Structure 1
Amino acid sequence: MTSEITLFVNPTAGRGRGAHAAQPAASALRAAGFSVRTVLGENAGDALTRARAAVADGTGALIAVGGDGMAHLALQAVAGTRTPLGLVAVGTGNDFARALGLPVRDPAAAGRRIADALKGGELHDVDLGQVGDRWFGTVLASGFDSRVNDRGNRMRWPTGRFRYDLAMIAELAAFRPFPYRIRLDDGEVQEIEATLVAVGNGSSYGGGMRICPGADLTDGLFDITVVGDCGRATLLRVFPSVYRGTHVDHPKVTVHRAAKVEISAAGITGYADGEPLGPLPLTARCVPGAVRVAGL
């Protein structure tokens, strides 16, 4: 493996933590003997073009510095290649790094872990989800949670996570279950009323909400969590248990496992790794060993 590696940096991640995190991560990598170059980009599209060029030119690894959004962007450059992906997780959510057992908000420790993994050959192939030509590492969200995302993204004030707390309150006021059509693998189409359907390659989203607690990045299958047609009061009771993953024990929650899932519901946007994919219907496939990661 070449000793030249690429830092793929989001300077705005975590309210500026991305820019500050690049230096200690780069220092740790250089101390281990690597030559480090940095890719920023003028915007997401430009950054991805530059990251793909680095991969095509044979960089030894692509190291994403930022949050889940930056990890998601990096996946579009390395998925399906043998170029290792490293994560220096300094964003708001950092769920993909958590799923991989990597340091969170400690860029120097993350840099050291990545360096040790690259030098020691501790590289592991993990699964990814794919929707069309888009790859994702954690969870494809649809339903109440994605409606909260929609509303939060439209809001100009306040900033940060409090915006999504307010968006959740607003969505609860207008809450109702949604009619879904779901097909798992090549089975029959199921028509159900559901609050949300979450397709988990990883176990969590939203900064540690373990919506698919049993998801395994190496089993070639999604965990699909369906929260049924519960009312507002039930949703409020069940919601806090998502952080522990115990919501799956509630009678209104069912979990399925499948390598492919088709989901359809009117007026619902799908989000993967917190990034919008587009309106349903969407078909997601679990692709075994689609990305090589450093430091699992």
Structure 2
Amino acid sequence: MKRVQLIVNPISGKGQAAAAVPTIEARLRRLGYEPATFVTRRRGDARDFAAALDQRTSLIVALGGDGTLNEVINGQTRIPLAIFPVGTANAFADDQGIRGTVDFLEALLKDGVLRGFDLGDAGGKKFLNMASCGILGQIHRAFWEDRDGPDGAVRLFTKTVQVLRRRRFPPVTLWQDGRPVRRGAGIVVVGNTRTYAPGVSFTPDASPFDGALDVTTLPAPSGFDFLRWTLGVLRGRRLDDPRIGYLRARVVQMGGEGIDCHVDGEYVGQAPLTVSVRPRSVRMLVPRVALGPEAGREAAPDVSLSAA
């Protein structure tokens, strides 16, 4: 009998992750799997627990948001991974069209495929979605430093307004595969996937299967610029502004004085930060027919779950 390890963030989705566990365990047993459950208690638990798992575990299911998923891939990439998205932010699940329901998870287990996904590496911290330095890093620093503020989107909006009002935007220096390409950018986003946040795309051409990173550079914005660009990224398209640059690279270096950076929404300190791609570094269970931005396209599986 194959063991499926659930790693659960009990506060994700205002308790939805923990509430779903008994139903998921029962469904797994009905499908012939042996479920095991680990519930996190503090930041870092998911990473440390995942790192200690061995090959007796056939599949990990991460129940939580992007933060829980990020911890698991930073703990291990040997064992295939599925996600049950119920957190505040589910950018990767949004990008791949994965839903946080027990029926959807059962369908994945029955008919999903394992695909090798590229990972980004930002100074030793792995990520699935993106890394960013500059103004967005400032926003996430303010978000992380005020953990007692309002939850989720409200706190992020409040911190965004505060950062834009301060108008302190030191320029980010950027290198593409070792070559200097732009000075004076206010925002640099390095994307492994299209999705920066659910419904938001700064790197609309990015793919986690192409062995490269997509990079978008934006100047320090006025309030009007920021509003216009926000409307553009919400539509998931390239921004029509000659000051905005798009490029691709395997290695991206960001530098400058007082430049804040974040990785998949977690503040990681100040530049310099080197970001590289690790092609096909983690196997993930995804729908056989894509449901995200590539909707309708049949996945090219590395292996089925039953053969893993």
TM over 0.5: yes
| Matched position secondary structure for 2:201 | coil
Seen in structure 2, the aligned counterparts of structure 1 residues 135 and 172 have a Cα distance that, compared at 3 Å, is: same
Amino acid of the structure 2 residue aligned with 1:101: G
Question: Which structure 2 residues correspond to residues 32-43 of structure 1 after superposition, within 5 A?
Answer: 32-43=31-42
In structure 2, distance between residues paired with 1:37 and 1:255: 44
In structure 2, distance between residues paired with 1:195 and 1:254: 12
The yes-or-no answer on 1:272 pairing with 2:263 is yes
Question: Which structure 2 residues correspond to residues 1-296 of structure 1 after superposition, within 5 A?
Answer: 3-54=2-53, 56-79=54-77, 81=78, 83-103=79-99, 106-117=100-111, 122-155=113-146, 156-187=148-179, 189-296=180-287
The alpha-carbon deviation at position 14 of structure 1 amounts to 2.2
In structure 2, distance between residues paired with 1:116 and 1:239: 39
The alpha-carbon deviation at position 254 of structure 1 amounts to 1.3
Seen in structure 2, the aligned counterparts of structure 1 residues 160 and 84 have a Cα distance that, compared at 3 Å, is: same
The alpha-carbon deviation at position 67 of structure 1 amounts to 0.2
Q: CA deviation digits over 1:224-262, x for unaligned, max 9?
A: 011124323222222122111235322222111011100
C-alpha contact (below 8 Å) 1:177/1:193 kept by paired residues: no
Amino acid of the structure 2 residue aligned with 1:91: G
| Matched position secondary structure for 1:123 | strand
In structure 2, distance between residues paired with 1:158 and 1:177: 25
| Matched position secondary structure for 2:35 | strand
C-alpha contact (below 8 Å) 1:183/1:262 kept by paired residues: yes
Q: CA deviation digits over 1:76-103, x for unaligned, max 9?
A: 1232x2x111000111211111222312
TM-score, normalising length: structure 2 = 0.86
C-alpha contact (below 8 Å) 1:113/1:295 kept by paired residues: no
Q: Percent identity?
A: 28
C-alpha contact (below 8 Å) 1:5/1:60 kept by paired residues: yes
C-alpha contact (below 8 Å) 1:18/1:90 kept by paired residues: yes
Seen in structure 2, the aligned counterparts of structure 1 residues 275 and 110 have a Cα distance that, compared at 3 Å, is: farther
In structure 2, distance between residues paired with 1:267 and 1:49: 31
In structure 2, distance between residues paired with 1:77 and 1:114: 23
In structure 2, distance between residues paired with 1:75 and 1:198: 21
Unaligned runs of 5+ in 1: none
| Matched position secondary structure for 1:44 | coil
CA RMSD of aligned residues (A): 1.9
The alpha-carbon deviation at position 32 of structure 1 amounts to 1.5
| Matched position secondary structure for 1:208 | coil
Mean alpha-carbon deviation: is it higher for 222-231 or for 4-13? 222-231
The alpha-carbon deviation at position 20 of structure 1 amounts to 1.8
TM-score, normalising length: structure 1 = 0.90
Q: How many equivalent pairs are there? A: 286
The alpha-carbon deviation at position 43 of structure 1 amounts to 2.1
In structure 1, distance between residues paired with 2:121 and 2:251: 9
In structure 1, distance between residues paired with 2:247 and 2:285: 29
C-alpha contact (below 8 Å) 2:46/2:75 kept by paired residues: no
In structure 2, distance between residues paired with 1:93 and 1:216: 20
Seen in structure 2, the aligned counterparts of structure 1 residues 240 and 269 have a Cα distance that, compared at 3 Å, is: same
Amino acid of the structure 2 residue aligned with 1:39: F
In structure 1, distance between residues paired with 2:43 and 2:220: 37
C-alpha contact (below 8 Å) 2:144/2:267 kept by paired residues: no
Q: CA deviation digits over 1:184-215, x for unaligned, max 9?
A: 1132x234212210000011123321111111
In structure 2, distance between residues paired with 1:42 and 1:234: 41
C-alpha contact (below 8 Å) 1:92/1:207 kept by paired residues: no
